[in-house]
């Protein structure tokens, strides 16, 4: 705001900063006069124009800075999204798809072939049924099931191991066994079981 007074009647006037140096009309005496602060010669056009130009430059400068800040923020957000968030997000999605595919494949494989864990458990059951004293049966804890149970053809498994159990006289005897099993849609079937005392 520019506070000045009418050069004709002395009426105190308030003009917009944007009308600096422009003609305004005194509401009291209707005289036209230039809106300039006290001490500035309204007829000094060079000074008036310079002030107006400077005021415009200052305003443009402020807008330019504001625009740059907005653009900078936008660019920063975009760069973070594009090079940090998006790749991580896409990688996560891909990993989830791979995991689901692998799981489906494993489930399908298990349904057709069975697995070493199931073969070993089924073989232990058949071996235990053969023994005189099922309560005394002790199987080794295999380090790796893949070493004791092998799929020889689709769903056909051979399990080789040993078992300790009491004979009819209460003596603990170790026997070797070879068990052939067939896996079919969730069920194990005994094909053959050979056992021999060591
Ligand atoms: Zn006046």
pLDDT at 37: 84
Rounded distance from Cα 8 to ligand 1 centre (Å): 5
Q: Name the residues around ion ligand 1, CB cutoff 5 A.
A: 6, 8-9, 11, 26, 28-29, 31
H/E stretch holding 66 reads helix 45-80
Rounded distance from Cα 37 to ligand 1 centre (Å): 15
pTM score over 0.75: no
pLDDT at 19: 83
Please give the chain's pLDDT, 198 residues, in tens: 889 999 899 999 999 888 888 889 999 999 998 888 888 776 777 777 787 788 888 889 999 999 999 999 999 999 999 999 999 999 999 999 999 999 999 999 999 999 999 999 999 999 999 999 988 999 988 888 888 999 999 999 999 999 999 998 999 999 999 999 999 988 999 999 999 988
Rounded distance from Cα 45 to ligand 1 centre (Å): 22
Rounded distance from Cα 47 to ligand 1 centre (Å): 24
Neighbour count for residue 103 (Cβ, 10 Å)? 10
Q: Quick one: which of 124, 132, 182, 126 has its CA closest to 154?
A: 182
Rounded distance from Cα 5 to ligand 1 centre (Å): 8
| C-alpha–C-alpha distance, residues 151 and 137, integer Å | 25
Side-chain-side CA neighbours of residue 152 (13 Å): 12
């Amino acid at each position: 705001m520019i506070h000045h007074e009418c050069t004709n009647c002395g009426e105190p006037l308030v003009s917009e900063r944007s009308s600096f140096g422009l003609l305004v009309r005194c509401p009291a005496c209707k005289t036209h006069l230039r809106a300039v602060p006290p001490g500035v010669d309204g007829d000094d056009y060079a000074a008036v124009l310079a002030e107006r130009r400077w005021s415009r430059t200052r305003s443009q400068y402020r807008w330019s800075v504001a625009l740059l800040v907005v653009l900078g923020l936008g660019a920063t957000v975009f760069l973070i999204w594009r090079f940090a968030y998006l790749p991580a997000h896409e990688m996560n999605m891909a990993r989830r798809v791979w995991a689901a595919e692998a799981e489906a494949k494993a489930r399908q494989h298990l349904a057709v072939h069975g697995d070493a864990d199931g073969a070993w458990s089924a073989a232990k059951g058949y071996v235990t049924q053969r023994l005189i004293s099922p309560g005394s049966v002790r199987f080794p804890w295999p380090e790796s099931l893949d070493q004791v149970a092998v799929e020889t053809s689709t769903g056909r498994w051979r399990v080789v191991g040993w078992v300790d159990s009491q004979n009819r006289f209460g003596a603990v005897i170790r026997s070797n066994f070879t068990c052939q099993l067939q896996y079919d849609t969730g069920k194990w079937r005994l094909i053959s079981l050979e056992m021999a005392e060591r």
